[in-house]
Structure 1
Amino acid sequence: MGSLVPFLDLNLIPDPPNIPIRVKPEPIDEPPDLIPSSPPPQPDLDSIPAEPISAEPENSNVYSEFNRISEMFRTAFAARMQRLGDEDNTTNNNIDDNHTPLNAETGAIVVVPTEENQVSTVVVAPQKYPKRSNELVRVTNLSIEDQRYFREIVRRTRMLYDALRIFSMADEERRNGPGSGRRGRGDLKAAMRMRDRNLWLNRDKRIVGSIPGVYIGDLFYFRMELCVVGLHGQIQAGIDYLTSSQSSNGEPIATSIIVSGGYEDDDDAGDVLVYSGHGGHDKLGRMSNHQKLEGGNLALERSMHYGIEIRVIRGLKKYDGSITTKVYIYDGLYRIVESWFDVGKSGFGVYKYKLIRIEGQPEMGSTLLKLARGLRTRPLEYRPAGYLTLDLSMKKDTLPVFVFNDIDNDQEPLYYDYLPRTVFPPFVYAGANMGCECVTGCNDGCLCGMKNGGEIAYDQNGFLLRGKPLVFECGPHCSCPPNCRNRVSQKGLNHRLEVFRSRETGWGVRTLDVIHAGGFICEYAGVVLTREQAQLFTMNGDSLIYPGRFAEKWMEWGDLSQVFSDYVRPTYPSIPPLDFAMDVSRMRNVACYISHSTSPNVMVQFVLYDHNNILFPHLMLFAMENIPPMRELSLDYGVADEYTGKLSICN
C-alpha cells in the first residue's frame, strides 16, 4: 500500500498547558430564529451500553481508520453546542475566554441556563478517550488499489454517519412527537455514538496534505462530519493546527482551514484566497481588539515558512435544496505564499495570509456548485454549445432532463420514447387492494406502517431510514393526503438530472442538484415482461434489464450494526426471487443511462404503491451518500448475464 512520510521528525511530547486563546469561530450554522428559546435536553450519550473496542482491521498499515475524540468535546460543550448550533469551541485544551475551563482531573463544569434564566452548574465526571495524535505524516505513493480501498472506507464511514443521523432524528421524533418545538441535533448524536465506538477516521495520525479517500468536490452538510472523516479536526474553529508545545521543534503547524465568507477581512477569489487570522473578536463575532501572532495565526505563518500545503474547505450559505443553512465542500490543497499584519475594516490589526491553489488538481467543488446553480436556471448562458435538448422527457416527467454532448456527434438518447414510470402487465393489478384510513398522515401503527413491519420507511424529510427487501408506500386506495410522509418515490423525478457524454463511461447521468444521502432520486423505468416474453425478446437482441440481478445494496444503507450490538437487518416484508425483465429497447427514462460501479452512490430499493403484487415491484433509486452537483451517478447492476457474460445494462 502507500507510504507514510513523517513530517519534520516531530515526536510526541506532553500535552500543552492551558493558555487562553480565542479561536476564529465560524458563523452559526443555523439562523437565530431556528434556535429554541430554551435549551433542549443534552444528548443521551449513555443510552448505548459500552462494548469492547474491535481490533484494527486488516490493511491498516498506512493509517488506522478508528480513534476517539477527546473528553473535552463530550463533557464541556455537548450541551452548549446543541443549544447554540456549534457556536463555541476550543482549540486543543484551551477554553474560549468567556467559558468556564475544563478540569481534566475533577470533570467538566458546564454552565447551563434554566427556563427561569437562572444559572445551573453541573459537574460531569470525566471519561478517558484517546486524544488526537500529535504525529504529523504525509501519505504518498498510493496505488489505484490503495485509492479505492481508502475511498471505500470513507464512503462506508460517511454512509454510517448519515444513516445514524437520520435514525437519531427519527428516534427523537418518535419519543417527543412531531411539532414538539425541540430542534434535535442528529449530527451531534451521530458523531458522539461513532466516537464511542471508535469509528472516527484519521485520529491516530495528523495528515499533512490530502486525506486518502476524500476527493476534491466532496460535500458535507455538518461540521461534525468533517471531524468524523478527519478532514478538519476542529468542531468550530476555522484553523486546524498542531500547537507549538506538541511539535518536536517547538513550532505550530497548520493543516487545514475553513473559509465561510463570514469575515469582513477575507477576500476569496477561488484559486487565490486572502484569509484573515483568528483572535480579536468579542462574543458576538465583532472585532474588538488587535490580533496576535499566536495559536493558529502563528501556525499559518510557520506553514508558509516550511512550504506546507493547506487543505481548504469552503462553507457556502443557503445552497438550494440543502437541509442545512450551509454546506461545506472540499476544494483541495493551497500554499501560503505571503503573510502580513494589516489594519482591518474594523480599524483593528488583523493578520492576513495569501493562499494560492496548487496546480494540477481537479476543478474546485465550489466552482462546480456555482456552475450547477447557473445551469439549472440559465443553461444556455453558462454552456452555449453542447446541449442536444433541454428536456429529454418532453414534459412527461416532473422535472426537465438535460442532454449534453460536447465530445462527438452521438445523439442516441433522443431516439427513444421517454417513459416516466414503469409499465406493468394488466394482471399485476388484479386482486384486492386495501389502504389505510389515515386522515392527516400515516404513522408506524397504521395499516401501511404495519405492512412495512411496524414502521414507516421514511422520516419527515422523505429520507429512507434504512433499506428493506420491500417498502410499501400509501397508494390510490389510501385515505391519507398527498403530503403523507409515506408517499415519496411515487411522485416522480425528484432532482434535476443531466444525461451527458463521457469518454470514460459513454453516456452517463449526473445531478445538477445536491442529493442527500437516503434521498429519493427517480424510478428505473421500463416495460415489464414475463419470463416467457423476455425469452422471445432476447432472441431479437433487444436490451433487457433484470431487476433480480441488481446488487442488494439496500442492505448497506441504514446498517447500524457497528453502533448497536443488537441491530438486526430488516427481513420483512420479504419477497421471492424476482423472475421478470424490463424492456428498455424502445422506451426508457433517464435512469437507464446511469453507469455501473461496484462501489455505487445510488442503490435500488423495491417499492409497491399502486398494486400489491410483490412479484412485480417498482425499482426506485435512492442515494447512498451525499452527492454534490455535477457528480456522476452510479449503480451496481449485479451479476453478468449467463449467456452474454455482460452486465445487464442498456448503455
Structure 2
Amino acid sequence: MEDTTKRHFFYHGNTEDETPGITEEKSNCHWCQIRAFPTHKQYPITIVNDADQATLPSNFRFLYHSVLGDGVEAAEDSFRSGCDCADDEDCQYGHCLCLQEQEEVAENGNGLDDADGGRKKVYRYHMHGHKAGLLRSKFLDSRQPIYECHDGCACSEACPNRVVERGRKVPLQIFRTKKTGWGVRCPVDIKKGQFVDKYIGEIITPREAQRRRDEAEVAARKDVYMFALDKFTDENSPDTRLRGDPLEVDGEFMSGPTRFINHSCDPNLRTFARVGDHADKHIHDIAMFAIRDIPRGEELTFDYVSGVHQDEDDGKDQSKKQHMSKCLCGSKNCRGYLW
C-alpha cells in the first residue's frame, strides 16, 4: 500500500504541475478525493492497511453527497417548503412544519413528553447539556423516521433539530481487517445516540437497480451496496413518487466511507430514515447512529438485514446453505448466514 501512496504524496500536492496525465491521475486518487472534502481538516477520513498489500478498488470514487442517476429528479422548487419558526425554540415547542408528521406519529403512539410547564418535546434529540445532539434513547430501537429542519427553514443553522443536516462530526478511518476485507473505525470515542454519517451513493431508478443486480455475478453480493429508499413507499400515497417501487442508493462504485462498514449480528450502529424537505421523501437520507457507546478504535458495524424477514429454517436447510452468504462477524449471537 505504501507504493500506492507515493504518487499522491510526491506528485499530487504540486498545484502548478502540468505534467500530462497528472490532472486525471489526481482526479482518480482516493487520497485527493477525501482531502477535497470541506470537512477534511477538522474531521478527516484516513485509509490504512497494516494487514496486506490490498488497496481500495481503483474504480471506486469518494463522494461528499449522493448524486442523482439518470431518470431520478429532486422535487421542483415550487413544491419545497420549510418551517417559518421565528426562533429555534419555536421549532421544539411550537408547531414546526418540519415536525408536523413526526408529532402526529408521536401523539398516536403516546410518544410525546411533558416538559417545561406542560410544553411537549417533539425533537428526537436531546437539546441541552452533555447529551445535546444525541438521539434520545427511547428512539434508538424505533423504526420511525427522523424529521429535521433544513436549509429551506427560517430557523438558524444552530437549530437543535439539524443534526444530520450539519453532517458528520467525527473522523473516520478505513482500515484493512483480517477476515472481512475493508472496515471502518473511529479514532475518537463515539457516544450512544451520536450521529456518525450517512450512507450515500448514486440514487437510481428501480429498473436500473434491477438491471445492476441481474448483471452482478452474485445478486446477494450486489445487495450489500444497495439500499432501497422505501421508508415512505405507499400505493395510496398522494405523492406519485411514493406509490411505485422505491428508488435505491448504490454505493458500490461511488460513495462515502460508510460504504466500507461491515455487517455484524450484534452491531454498534443502526440506520434511520431521515427527512429534510418533505417534498423529497422519495430520496430521503439513510443516517447512521450509535446504539451504544463505542470506544475509539472499535470497528463500526451495522446489521445488513435488520428489519428484513428471514426464515430461521433457511440456516438449517443444507440445500439452501450452499446459496447463502456465510456471516463472519464472530459475535456471540451470530446468525451464521446473512441471506
In which range does the TM-score fall when normalised by the shorter chain? Answer: 0.5 to 0.7
| 1:633 is aligned to 2:282 | no
- Mapped to 2, the partners of 1:637 and 1:604 lie a distance apart of 10
Contact 1:546/1:580, CA 8 A, preserved across alignment: no
Distance apart, 1:604 and its partner CA: 0.2
Partner of residue 453, structure 1 = 103
- Kindly tell me: are residues 623 and 414 of structure 1, through their superposed partners in 2, closer, same or farther at Cα, counting changes over 3 Å? farther
Aligned equivalent of 1:528: 203
SS at match of 1:539: helix
Is contact 2:82-2:152 (8 Å) kept?
yes
Aligned counterpart for 1:396 among listed residues 37, 44, 47 = 37
The yes-or-no answer on 1:432 pairing with 2:79 is yes
User: After the TM superposition, which residues 234-253 of structure 1 pair with which residues of structure 2 at under 5 Å, given as runs?
Assistant: none
Is 1:593 aligned to residue 260 of structure 2? Answer: yes
Q: Deviations over 1:30-63 (max 9, x none)?
A: xxxxxxxxxxxxxxxxxxxxxxxxxxxxxxxxxx
Query: Does the CA contact (< 8 Å) of 1:489 and 1:520 recur in 2?
Result: yes
How far residue 616 of structure 1 moved from its aligned partner, in angstroms, is: 2.7
Tell me, in whole angstroms, the C-alpha distance in 1 between the residues paired with 2:250 and 2:326: 15
1:495 and 1:511 in contact (8 A); partners too: yes
Structure 2 unpaired stretches of 5+: 1-28, 105-121, 232-241, 311-319, 328-339
Residue equivalent to 1:490: 165
> How many Å separate the matches in 1 of 2:32 and 2:174?
10
In structure 1, give the amino acid aligned to 2:274. Answer: V
CA RMSD of aligned residues (A): 3.2
Q: Tell me what 2:336 maps to.
A: none
Number of the residue aligned with 1:91 = none
* Whole-angstrom CA distance in 2 between matches of 1:623 and 1:391: 29
Counterpart of 2:102, as a letter, is N
Give the partner amino acid of 2:296. P
Q: Following the alignment from structure 1 to structure 2, what is the Cα–Cα distance between the partners of residues 480 and 539?
A: 46
| 1:509-520 matched pairs, under 5 angstroms | 509-520=184-195
Deviation at 1:453, TM superposition (A): 1.4
Deviation at 1:472, TM superposition (A): 1.4
> What residue number does 2:282 align with?
615
Inter-partner Cα distance in structure 1 for 2:215 and 2:279: 32
- How far 1:506 sits from its partner (Å)? 1.4
* 1:477 corresponding residue in structure 2: 152
1:625 partner letter: R
Q: Does 2:174 correspond to 1:499?
A: yes
Aligned-partner SS, 1:453: helix
Matches within 5 A, 1:32-181: none
C-alpha distance 647-453 of structure 1, shift in aligned 2 (>3 A):
farther
Q: In the TM superposition, what is the alpha-carbon distance from 1:549 to its structure 2 partner?
A: 9.7
1:420 corresponding residue in structure 2: 64
Identity of aligned residues (%): 27
Distance 2:278 2:67 in 1: 12
| Gap change, CA 1:599 and 1:500, over 3 Å in 2 | same
- Cα deviation for residue 590 of structure 1 reads 0.3
The CA distance in 2 between the partners of 1:618 and 1:443, in whole Å, is: 22
Cα contact 1:439–1:479 (8 A) shared by 2:
yes
Secondary structure (helix, strand or coil) at the match of 2:92 reads coil
AA aligned opposite 1:462: G
Helix, strand or coil for the counterpart of 1:393?
helix
1:491 match: secondary structure? coil
Residue 423 (structure 1) shift:
2.4
Gap change, CA 1:539 and 1:410, over 3 Å in 2: same
Q: Give TM-score scaled by structure 1 length.
A: 0.33
Picking from 92, 95, 110, the partner of 1:443 is 92
Within 5 Å, which residues of 2 pair with 1:141-540?
A: 393-396=34-37, 398=39, 399-412=43-56, 415-424=59-68, 426-430=72-76, 432-441=79-88, 442-445=91-94, 446-453=96-103, 455-460=122-127, 461-465=132-136, 466=139, 467-540=142-215
Pairwise CA distance, 1:474: 0.9
Supply the distance in 2 between the matched residues of 1:628 and 1:450 (Cα, whole angstroms): 36
1:493/1:541 CA distance change after superposition, 3 Å = same
Higher relative contact order, structure no. (Cα contacts within 8 Å, ≥ 6 residues apart):
2
Distance 2:68 2:253 in 1: 15
- Amino acid aligned to 2:256: N
For normalisation by structure 2, the TM-score amounts to 0.62
State the alpha-carbon separation in 1 of the partners of residues 182 and 263 from structure 2.
Answer: 11
* Equivalent residues of 2:229, 2:283 under 8 A apart: no
Q: How many residues align?
A: 237
Distance in 1, matches of 2:153 and 2:302, equals 32
CA, structure 1 residues 414+539, in 2 after alignment: closer, same or farther (shift >3 Å)? same
After superposition, the Cα gap between the structure-2 partners of 1:611 and 1:599, relative to the gap in structure 1 and judged at 3 Å, is same
Question: Does the aligned pair in 1 maintain the 2:227–2:250 contact within 8 Å?
Answer: no
Deviation at 1:424, TM superposition (A): 3.7
State the 1:407 CA deviation. Answer: 1.3
- Shift, 1:606, TM fit: 0.4
Deviation at 1:391, TM superposition (A): 7.1
What is the letter of the counterpart of residue 474 of structure 1? C
1:586 Cα offset (Å) = 2.1
- Matching residue's letter, 2:86: V
Cα pair 2:98 2:278 within 8 Å, conserved: no
Once the two structures are TM-superposed, the CA of residue 597 in structure 1 deviates from its matched residue by 0.7
Secondary structure of 1:515 counterpart: coil
2:52 partner letter = D
Question: How far apart in 1 are the matches of 2:38 and 2:267?
Answer: 24
Cα gap change, 1:617 to 1:646, in 2 (>3 Å):
farther
| Structure-2 change in CA distance of 1:640 and 1:541 (3 Å) | farther
How far the C-alpha of 1:395 sits from its partner, in A, is 2.6
Q: Given the superposition, is the C-alpha separation of residues 628 and 594 from structure 1 closer, same or farther in structure 2, using an over 3 Å criterion? A: same
**Cα distance, 1:627 vs. partner?**
0.5
**How big is the shift at 1:504?**
2.2
Q: Which amino acid is the alignment partner of residue 258 of structure 2?
A: A
Shift, 1:600, TM fit: 0.5
**Could you tell which deviates more after superposition, 403-412 or 488-497?**
488-497
One-letter identity of the residue aligned with 2:161: N
Q: Distance in 1 between matches of 2:177 and 2:247?
A: 31
